[in-house]
Amino acid sequence: MSLKVAVLVSGGVDSSVALRLLHAAGHSCTAFYLKIWFQEDFENFWSECPWEEDMRYTKAVCDQVDVPLEVMHLTDEYWTNVVSYIIDEYRHGRTPNPDVLCNTRIKFGAFMHAVGGMKFDFVASGHYARVVHVNGDKKDKPSTLELSKDIVKDQMYFLSHLSQSQLKRLIFPLGCIPKEEVRRLAQIFDLPYQERKDSQGICFLGKIKFSEFVARHIGEAEGITSSWGSLVRRGERC
């Protein structure tokens, strides 16, 4: 059965292979690139914003199979629901995970809300995890989030806060595929950037370290040294 699928693409190999797999399976796909970088008038001291390069890669892979590509601007939502929240939490001594928040509140939160009227059957991405849906007349049963086949690349932790309403609308085509196979598929699909390195940073920071970002916004202060730390420095033992 052909499905209508909204596919989140980022310019990386994983999301591109996910898109191509869904397209090859005969599904009607629309690719969406989420632009969450800060607006031009924001004092963004990180100057190397890679979204233009990401967009070039994304457009190239969509053009290969004539999949429509839409750019969705969620900068304000990202600043309000992720960035400013993180800054405030760190200011109070708490350390939320930015990627967990991004998945819950933006990729599968604000984005899902924005495309809610477009009648997509599912939303897909290149995450390494599996969502198991109950078929037939048991649709009232919960969908479950499970480990991907590639335990090293598994991203279930970063998706662990998703609600049932979010999970029921998701599919992860790479959940049953190890990373080495994804790279091989990228070659088979002749992706224009099949050897591109994986992104390891937090999505809104680019090449700036998270510690530098936090220090910029909440400042730096000397921490409290414990008595145990003092003993260790003096070489003493209890």
Which residues are the active-site residues? 102, 203
What region does 235 belong to: left with phi over 0, alpha with psi -120 to 50, or beta?
left
